[in-house]
Amino acid sequence: MTTISLPPLSWAARRTRIMGVVRRDFAALRRSPIRMFEILFWPTVELLLWGFVTAFLQTQRVPFVVAFLLGGVLLWQVLQKASNEISIAFLEDIWSRNLLNVQVSPLSSVEYLVGLVVFSLGKVVFAVTVMSGLAFALYGFGVGGFGVGLAPFMGLLLVLGWSLGLVGIAAVLRFGENAQVIAWSLVFVVQPLAGIFYPISVLPAPVQALSWFLPASHVFEGMRTVMSGGPLPWDRLLWAAGLDVVYLGLTLALFAWALRYARAHGKLSRFGD
Amino acid sequence: MVILEAEHLAKRFGPVTAVHDLSLTVAEGEVVALLGLNGAGKSTTLHMLLGLITPDAGSIRMFGMDLARHRTEVLSKVNFAASYVDLPGALLVTEVLDAFARLYGLRRPKARVAELIELFELEPLARRPMMALSSGQRTRVQLAKALLNAPRLLVLDEPTANLDPDAGDRIRGLLGDLARTNGSAMLITSHNMREVERMCDRIHFMSGGRIVAAGSAAELAGAYGAADLEEVFLKVARG
Ligand SMILES: Nc1ncnc2c1ncn2[C@@H]1O[C@H](COP(=O)(O)OP(=O)(O)OP(=O)(O)O)[C@@H](O)[C@H]1O
Ligand SMILES: [Mg+2]
């Protein structure tokens, strides 16, 4: 009986616990057809919408690379999904009144978050793969246009998405379930600022200044440079990476603070009532 | 051997003093009850011992370690079930147990899950989703989850509240065996006095966040000149 568990601080135990989170979320996804449908529903809707806009602009001979729009849609989905998946996975535990079970298990907060991140990564990669195929089939848009930039661009947006998701979780821990609105909507505050469908230069000057504080702005500008045949803009990538690191650090600290607050005020057992 | 040592715990929620200067020990294999009126501070106490609520004051040592500093190590030897928590509804019973077996870092999750499914007679329910189960059936799955890691301390907050008399009786028997054979200690709250009389070695009465009386069921009955624990409860609660 004494050897039933792995030594709690060993890497094997950590890996087992993290994979416990991933497998659990995967099982839940498999058991929920609606959830499966949803992975592809919104990306497809957006792709179709912007695809037709692109087709229309092409007939109007609008003088810019219309593929920008489709590239924007694809990368935007990466950001939005990464953000929402993280906070939904956490809210899922609140909705099913399972949060206490997770919180009293030896799973540490970091392991829990790593589990959520790994699982969201799987979902994002799946959605993006299907969308890329669709974009190619319907509009002849090949993600090859991003060149080698695709992986770092996506990676940088994923990390920003996770930070935003963490803010959502922290908000729920601090303010209760009503704050789930923040978990859904924060990423949409980023949307207009990040120059997803238009260059940052169209924004009013003060807003532009703000935009450059978002890693996503650098990613989308970089994407346009690459798609119009330019070289991989290393300065943009570095800016985005630096900002990502800063935001991830800040949001992890925010999460830790919110969890301490929730424990100090007995909030963990008050969700779901 | 003492496995849980809580000293001078206190917790306030705004104007409400939920727990005040509470000290408690639990020894290996001991079954200890916390009783008291609604709002007496039982759940708050249990939640502090599980690290869900940070005490305002006091210290908690379990298995010789400080809970706040050795959270993962301590919690891997503890488990919990309560009437007010639930398990993910979309998952099958086996999937839920498998997931928690991994969250507890078990070496052989599948084998352990199979053992518990047998122990709790869950075979007919094993391939059904949690949300399809009755509340009593879910309670059984929760208790199976609570035993996955063969905990040295099992914390149960009104564990049998949803069980029919037959299931309740069998679960009590099962938990009793567990304490005897594995030396698992238990800390239980319950509003079922017969259950407490039958299961618990030591009983603490709480009122207004403090422990106001403690002893075995027989000792308490003697001290309060009462026929049974139910009468003790009423006497303590009504002053
Ligand atoms: N998270 C919280 N926020 C605010 N007040 C709380 C919180 N948790 C408990 N309380 C208050 O603390 C007191 C003790 O509550 P607790 O849940 O510990 O009682 P209990 O003994 O478990 O009662 P019951 O038998 O009804 O389960 C109550 O007055 C309750 O209102
Ligand atoms: Mg209670």
Q: Name the minimum distance, in Å, from the CA of A212 to any CA of chain B.
A: 40
Atom of ligand 1 nearest to the CA of B158: 27
Structure confidence at residue A137 (pLDDT): 86
Q: What is the DSSP string of B199-218?
A: H-SEEEEEETTEEEEEE-HH
Q: What is the mean pLDDT of chain A?
A: 89
With a cut of 80, say whether residue A64 has pLDDT above it.
no
Residue A5 maps to a domain? no
In a mutational test of the pocket of ligand 1, which residue from B9, B12, B13 has the highest number of ligand atoms less than 8 Å from its CB? B13
Q: Please count the structural domains in chain A.
A: 1
Q: What is the residue-level pLDDT of chain B in tens, covering all 239 positions?
A: 999 999 999 999 999 999 999 999 999 999 999 999 999 999 999 999 999 999 999 999 999 999 999 999 999 999 999 999 999 999 999 999 999 999 999 999 999 999 999 999 999 999 999 999 998 899 999 999 999 999 999 999 998 888 888 888 888 888 888 877 778 999 999 999 999 999 999 999 999 999 999 999 999 999 999 999 999 999 988 87
Residue A1 maps to a domain? no
The dihedral formed by the CA atoms of A22, A27, A30 and A32, expressed in degrees to the nearest 10: -110
Structure confidence at residue A69 as a pLDDT band (50, 70, 90)? confident
Least confident stretch, A52-61, A210-219, B201-210: A52-61
Structure confidence at residue A273 (pLDDT): 61
Q: What is the largest CA-CA distance in chain A?
A: 74
Structure confidence at residue A63 as a pLDDT band (50, 70, 90)? low
**Who wins on pLDDT, A214 or B135?**
A214
Structure confidence at residue B131 (pLDDT): 93
Share of chain A above pLDDT 90, in %: 53
Structure confidence at residue A147 (pLDDT): 66
What contacts A208, CB < 8 A, 6 or more positions away? A200, A201
Least confident stretch, A37-51, A240-254, B195-209: A37-51
Residue A81 maps to a domain? yes
Atom of ligand 1 nearest to the CA of B43: 22
CATH code for the structural domain at B2-77+152-237: 3.40.50.300
Structure confidence at residue A132 (pLDDT): 87
Structure confidence at residue A65 as a pLDDT band (50, 70, 90)? low
Structure confidence at residue A235 (pLDDT): 93
Q: Which of A6, A17, A105 to mutate to test the interface with B (most CBs of B within 10 A)?
A: A105
What 3 state SS string does A228-257 have?
Answer: CCCCCCHHHHHHHHHHHHHHHHHHHHHHHH
Average pLDDT (A25-51) is 86
pLDDT digits (tens, 9 = 90+) for B107-123: 999 999 999 999 999 99
Average pLDDT (A140-147) is 73
Report the complex ipTM: 0.94
Structure confidence at residue A66 (pLDDT): 64
Instruction: Kindly list the domain boundaries of chain B, sorted by start residue.
Output: 2-77+152-237, 87-150
Residue of A nearest to B146 (CA): A101
With a cut of 70, say whether residue A126 has pLDDT above it.
yes
Structure confidence at residue A50 as a pLDDT band (50, 70, 90)? confident
With a cut of 80, say whether residue A218 has pLDDT above it.
yes
With a cut of 90, say whether residue A148 has pLDDT above it.
no
Note down the domain range covering A78: 11-264
CA–CA dist A163, A169 (Å, integer): 10
Q: Give B-chain residues touching A19 at CB under 8 angstroms.
A: 102
The set of protein residues with a Cβ atom below 6 angstroms from ligand 1 is A 266, 270; B 13, 16, 18, 36, 38-44
